[in-house]
Amino acid sequence: MGPDAEMNTTTQEGARAPAPLPTGDEPRPAIPAAKNPILDELLYRCFARWSLWRYFDRVWLQSHGPLPHPRNGPLIVYMNHSSWWDGYLMYVIHRVVLRGRFDAHLLMEEKQLRRYRFFRWSGAFSVNRDDPEDARRSQAYAAALLRGGRRPRLLFIFPQGKIVPNDRRPLVTYPGIARIIAQAGDVNLCPVALRYELLGRQFPEAFIRIGPSYRAANPSDLEGVLADITRRLTDACDALRDDVLALRYERFQPLLRGRRGIDELFDSVLRLLPGQSPPRRT
């Protein structure tokens, strides 16, 4: 995707060297983050951005409420997890939608991070849900990340813990996210729904629904926080599904554009012929 296809620039405002990650006697996961701004940029451009350009027709955005901003403090973005592509859209949310304003990190399943350790350069760190002690360390590490830093940090979490078909209900979430919120203190929360559909083009389209952001009424109420997260994420996924299936494109704005498929190239040729007017879509 060329730079002119992006809604916003991807430059980081006031970018500085990232603050040191938790060290010393503080709890650490089996695989801690190892952020590297140069290698992080390389991963975004060579993997996420290039792959979305190659395999998708459009990436669409629907925003509800003001977008999260660092002036409101650290942020947790929690998303549904229905596809391998979700990680690439995470890059897009951080760099294009939120314009790289936050120091971003990602909680990632340990066995996956061991296979793809290079995601540590983008701030990924591990969690092993099958090991309660390791999960506790990862949650404490995540909370310490959110409390620290010279600029506000952003933590991406998939609270379902694994890839699940998009329309499976009830949507099940794990309590780790509520424990992180309880330990982190005053953090901003933002639900994000993701969806992928083939809608009359050669290549599929990706849809992002973000917001509205909010703060937990009582962060120490673990059950209440988790129930609220589950409800908000379910509502966001259902609303996104309804808008996509009803083809309500007017409720979205194009965020990124991929390469043109054979269908679009053929339509372009037809438009040059007398009496031919294939449908257009922005």
Pick from 99-113, 203-217, 268-282: least confident: 268-282
Answer whether residue 63 is part of any domain: yes
Q: Is a pLDDT exceeding 90 seen at residue 265?
A: no
Answer whether residue 240 is part of any domain: yes
Answer whether residue 15 is part of any domain: no
Answer whether residue 10 is part of any domain: no
Answer whether residue 16 is part of any domain: no
The better pLDDT of the pair 141, 273 is held by 141
Q: Cα–Cα–Cα angle for 101, 209, 212, nearest 5°?
A: 70
Cα separation of 240 and 250, whole Å?
13
Answer whether residue 12 is part of any domain: no
Q: Is a pLDDT exceeding 80 seen at residue 7?
A: no
Is residue 73 within 8 Å of residue 188, measured between CB atoms?
Answer: yes
Percentage of the chain surpassing pLDDT 70?
A: 84
What is the pTM for the complete model shown? 0.86
What is the rounded average pLDDT of the residues 255-282?
Answer: 68
Label residue 26 by pLDDT band (50, 70, 90): confident
Torsion of the alpha carbons at 149, 153, 156 and 161, rounded to the nearest 10: 40
Label residue 2 by pLDDT band (50, 70, 90): very low
Question: Domain range spanning residue 113?
Answer: 25-271
What pLDDT sits at residue 6?
Answer: 47
What pLDDT sits at residue 239?
Answer: 98
pLDDT digits (tens, 9 = 90+) for 144-174: 999 998 889 999 999 999 999 999 999 999 9
Is residue 95 within 8 Å of residue 102, measured between CB atoms?
Answer: no
What pLDDT sits at residue 101?
Answer: 96
* Cβ-proximal residues to 47 (8 Å cutoff; 6+ apart), any chain: 88
185: domain CATH number is 3.40.1130
Of 209, 48, 15, 210, residue with least CA distance to 116: 48
Cα separation of 253 and 94, whole Å?
17
What pLDDT sits at residue 175?
Answer: 97
What pLDDT sits at residue 203?
Answer: 93
Is residue 179 within 8 Å of residue 140, measured between CB atoms?
Answer: no
- The structural domain count of the chain equals 1
Q: Is a pLDDT exceeding 90 seen at residue 189?
A: yes
pLDDT digits (tens, 9 = 90+) for 28-52: 999 999 999 999 999 999 999 999 9
- Site of tokens 């933002």: 190
